[in-house]
Structure 1
């Protein structure tokens, strides 16, 4: 995984044309469409744009009545959309790749890519003798059943040449993850880097000092991660609703990047019991580690590099021994993206 220089000052400058009609709703005269969205996890800072879009009426401007529910994991969000429990979700595209490979005629689509760098990791205690993937053999690694890093572990094991059968996998409640690791009840835990870092902070643990991270991206797994995923039925039967959904979220991302506090205000309004300082830091770290990418000017936020995405599909297919390789177009539908000039951002913020 590439490391990036620390960026300075918690401010996001948005390069958008100055017109009041930029994000104007196109569905004001249409019948309201209800869309149920399942998020990737319990309510937290990096979901700010979803809550802000609802709070500021951006969904309503597009003729949408959006219902937001907290999730139980990025992988679970994909299956919940695929089975029809939800119309859309914030889920892991790698799980979507696997689903599409197995069910080519009945799978959701990614329509707006948000996490462009792989956040998947195994965290171990800093004083542990586990320093490389090979050191995981004979150990016990724990994680929530629907965690994206756990789901991708067979792929990670194959790429790194370790014998996964020699590793015990323990499913645990998300709230127990960091405490079980620091108390050495397990040898390591699966998760997203910033989920672990800031959940540890809430528990009084300094993850930067007490934990060491074995990051999947450092071992050749150059994968995309969470995207806006919508059902096949919604794409085929109501493409205007999909377009409106993406437009509203993109607008709220712009607002959040322009004023981080505004985004966090929306999160706190949704869940007042959260720790504002921790969620602000979690959001800023997510912007730096998972959303920021080098070719923003070429693609704009929300789009993908097709060659890189095709390689990511190959990684998942090969590592999981899938019988079919989906095409990029089967997974990601670019038709609903706003124009590129409305998705170009300059990020300039202080690392937490």
Structure 2
């Protein structure tokens, strides 16, 4: 694939997740990169206001907004059809949105078969979940996956994110007219973003779910542990992938699976929830600190998917990114547990409903 270096016209990128935690941090780094002068972002944004548009353009100046959401099917198809590049940092589980992106990209490919479009999709490492249901298990029994030689067929069927990831994998690996597809799988993304959204939505979801209990909690006893990655490291990995994709020298399709995880020790879920609970107690938001196993009145609302996402372990090796020269430097500077108190305080400022 030839490089786009020296191209006179700007490359248009249809971007989903511009107001999100990871997506906005990616745009911050893109704005600082040598791609910025030749890259125009078309961002899908819901509930557009002048203030929201102003703040987004402070993050990335060369940006235009298309109002809509992931369920705006015709808009998503049209914008994907108009773009040679689509980056989806929004929901990893909206399969209707993914189908519409792929339909749009396939329309574009039929118009210009010499230049296959690129789709970068952000999934998650919950695909590697062992469904331990929060129980303590022997470390030797936890599967360890590496992204070199990886395929979705290695995973148990029916796991999280596979509804979307399978669609993308098929589109990128078929023999007749494959798209250029890349799926990135970050672990627990933590830290404080420099972008539009400063903290992960997971914090607000967990705090909201536990408000009625006045104490943080876990699915089961919470012995399960997760790989993690600082938001700046995850965004830097995406930028590295995108830059190489523009230059035409990155693995796509069957080789387009990229795990994003640091080498730092995995963190048990009960320790994560315990730190959050202690901060909320000190802030007089919750009546109790620490965490405890959640009752069925909370977990039942999330169904079996909640147990799979939040009750299991995942162990992976980010071999592909390291082969590209990527290092999780921010994750080495500050750990997940060290970062959490600041994140919780910022989340409380970002979302006043958590204090109600």
With normalisation by structure 1, the TM-score equals 0.31
**Structure with more contact order per residue of length (Cα contacts < 8 Å, sep ≥ 6):** 1
With normalisation by structure 2, the TM-score equals 0.31
